[in-house]
Amino acid sequence: MKAHTKETQATMTPEKSLQYLKEGNIRFQNNLKANRNLLEQVNDTSEGQFPFATILSCIDSRVSAELVFDQGLGDIFSIRIAGNFVNEDILGSMEFACKLAGTELIVVLGHTSCGAVKGACDDAKLGNLTNMLAKIKPAVEAIKEPEDIKFRNSKNSEFVDNVATKNVQLTIDRILQESPVLTEMQNKGEIKIIGAMYDINTGAVDFFE
């Protein structure tokens, strides 16, 4: 499989881009890989890059977007931060990726058993981590069940995963609230912004459609 070119990128649509990721994740789940020569892709992308998607994911070592979607060099922009939330710098990166570099799909990818989410659920305190986890707290507060404080912590895996899912949804809301550029592009059908959850037990990605 060749690296994307300006010409192949131009044929992509938000829907086609999403389908590429779905097919890649199915290959990953089945321990298959597209036939790529990565060194050849290094050469092919040396003078330019033409990715078709931008993926915001967690720094978790088990959730590498290139691997779980079976993509090669030059295929996707990968933004990673613990808890897959957005800030001004990440929004600017997304605007560059879509408006200037031509990607037509943004995926906010959360995952099960997320350590950052667990930290937010437990109200963990540690240096700069304290302020970072505060970005995830709105998702914790938005999940009303269970009400008993004894079960609203990292030991309750269902609660943690519900918070992680809500965090993805709130991140998308924030993208649309704080980036007029991306909101306008989505309203025009030029891009699609979608959430997804990766299951660390199965390798499967569930897209929110």
pLDDT of residue 47: 86
Widest distance between CA atoms in the chain: 57
123 marked among binding-site residues: no
pLDDT of residue 209: 83
Sheet of 76-80, strands arranged across: 76-80, 53-57, 105-111, 192-198, 205-207
pLDDT of residue 129: 95
- Residues of the chain whose pLDDT is less than 50? none
pLDDT of residue 2: 84
Question: 6-207 falls under which CATH superfamily?
Answer: Carbonic anhydrase (3.40.1050.10)
111 marked among binding-site residues: yes
Dist CA 102 CA 191 (whole Å): 9
121 marked among binding-site residues: no
Return the closest-CA partner of residue 94 out of 2, 171, 154, 30. Answer: 171
For the chain, the structural domain boundaries read 6-207
* DSSP β-ladder status, 105-111 and 76-80: unpaired
Spatial neighbors of 99 by CB under 8 A, at least 6 apart, are: 181, 185
98 marked among binding-site residues: no
Residue 92 structure tokens:
């600017």
Query: CB 162: neighbour CB atoms within 10 A?
Result: 18
pLDDT of residue 48: 87
CB-count burial class (<10 Å; 0-12, 13-18, 19+) for 203: middle
- State the pTM of this model: 0.95
- 19 three-class SS: helix
